[in-house]
Amino acid sequence: MKTYRIATIPGDGIGKEVIPAGQRIMQELARDGGLSFEFEDFDWGGDYYRKHGVMMPADGLDALRGKDAILFGSAGDPHIPDHITLWGLRLKICQGFDQYANVRPTRILPGIDAPLKRCAPGQLDWVIVRENSEGEYSGVGGRVHQGHPLEAATDVSIMTRAGVERILRFAFKLAQSRPRKLLTVVTKSNAQRHAMVMWDEIAMEVSREFPDVAWDKELVDAATARMVNRPATLDTIVATNLHADILSDLAAALAGSLGIAPTGNIDPERRYPSMFEPIHGSAFDIMGKGLANPVGTFWSVVMLLEHLGETQAAARLMQAIENVTADPSLHTGDLGGTATTEQVTAAVCAKLAVAAKAKAA
Ligand code: NAD
Ligand code: K
Ligand code: MN
């Protein structure tokens, strides 16, 4: 039996509610003896910052290095500026471990009342690949004459040939592994005439390695309209750090709620642990109330298991999640229901237990 070493970083806000729920699900999965998990919890985030002046310790990455995967909640505290919480924790890990591929599957799960009424089940099945290491979030820039009428500021978007090539190759490969073998490369190469034109050119080059993948290009603004009007024409989508950040929140909303959507920050070369998290943030408006939807975390655990090669356990968990979303009495507030984090978690555990019993019988 394989034992996986998992780091958990609940972080802030509802991260502290959904990550323990995710751990419970994993323990339930491990109960039938097929695999096991050894968790180490890290109390990094806003509270840590108040005590130590940093979001995580300087040698934090060393503590994570030997793990098989990381399960992350959210970084974001109502009393600390967002750029400090984001750059001090989540981006430190993503960049420190070169998790350059951010992967965001989107599907309308059974029982979810999604806003795209014209969309039959199965017609919205996307994976958005976000460049996760450079681009608009390179952190390069500056601000001069602060507060003065002549004040100016820049955030420089750096795109490297190596960075663009590796994310496009990852996206083509992912598209190739999916039944439809369809990739849409999103840029803004009409207005941004340097880096985005380079993206288009590199996409053309990389596409030659994948003759069986059908691909097209879309400008990011047009891509939003296409997601709403013609969702079935999309399958795998690749875009820059900023563009894909925005497109994937839209995707999550179109599929029913931000509270459901998962993501993986992946190091495809497996030099470092990859990190899985719900795409939502700290949700200041509901934190501490036990009302957070834990499904985004559970689906992130599915991605974590797939990454570890535990495809059977992943499929069992996804089935249990879908059995729970199918029941509207188990919907949290973001889905229009009244269920609590605890009720949804207990229900998924119960479905897993039933499935394990059926398998053993
Ligand atoms: P958010 O995702 O925290 O919340 C947006 C809205 O969605 C809120 O109304 C919230 O209640 C709702 N929501 C989100 N997740 C939910 C869930 N699981 N169940 C039920 N409702 C849910 O986004 P925001 O308000 O823009 O950001 C709040 C803080 O979180 C900020 O500090 C931001 O920087 C941070 N943030 C962190 C991450 C991350 O760590 N990856 C991602 C996004 C935002
Ligand atoms: K998150
Ligand atoms: Mn985002």
Assessment of whether the complete model's pTM goes beyond 0.90: yes
Torsion of CA 82, 88, 89, 90, to 10 degrees: 60
Closest ligand (CA of 21): 1
User: Is this complex scored with an ipTM above 0.90?
Assistant: yes
Is 114-255 in the same CATH topology as 1-100+261-360?
yes
Ligand nearest to the CA of 93: 1
Is residue 301 lining ligand 1, measured as CB closer than 6 Å?
no
With beta carbons less than 8 A apart as the criterion, state whether 84 and 53 touch. Answer: no
Provide the pLDDT for residue 45: 98
CB < 8 Å & 24+ apart, contacts of 46-50: 46/11, 46/12, 46/75, 46/76, 46/77, 46/79, 46/80, 46/85, 47/12, 49/77, 49/80, 49/84, 49/85, 49/88
- Write out residues in the chain with pLDDT < 70, as ranges: none
Segment 246-292, tens digit of pLDDT: 999 999 999 999 999 999 999 999 999 999 999 999 999 999 999 99
Rounded Cα gap, residues 279 and 293, in angstroms: 12
- DSSP letter at 213 equals -
Cα–Cα distance measured from residue 220 to residue 246, given in angstroms and rounded to the nearest whole number = 10
The structural domains of the chain, with segments of one domain joined by +, span: 1-100+261-360, 114-255
pLDDT at 360: 79
Tokens of 165: 């090539």
Q: Which residues of 30-54 are buried (b: 16+ CB within 10 A; e: fewer)?
A: bebeebebeeeebebbbebbeeeee
How do residues 238-249 score in pLDDT, each as one tens digit? Answer: 999 999 999 999
The β-bridge partners of 276 are 71, 264
Report pLDDT for 239.
98
The CATH architecture annotation of domain 1-100+261-360 reads 3-Layer(aba) Sandwich (3.40)
Kindly state if the Cβ of 341 falls inside 6 Å of ligand 1.
no
Amino acid at 338: T
134 CA to middle of ligand 1, Å? 23
Measured from the Cα of 333, ligand 1's closest atom is 20
- Asked if CATH classification 3.40.718.10 holds for the domain at 114-255, the reply, yes or no, is yes
Q: Residue 332 C-alpha to ligand 1 middle, in angstroms?
A: 15
pLDDT at residue 359, as a whole number: 79
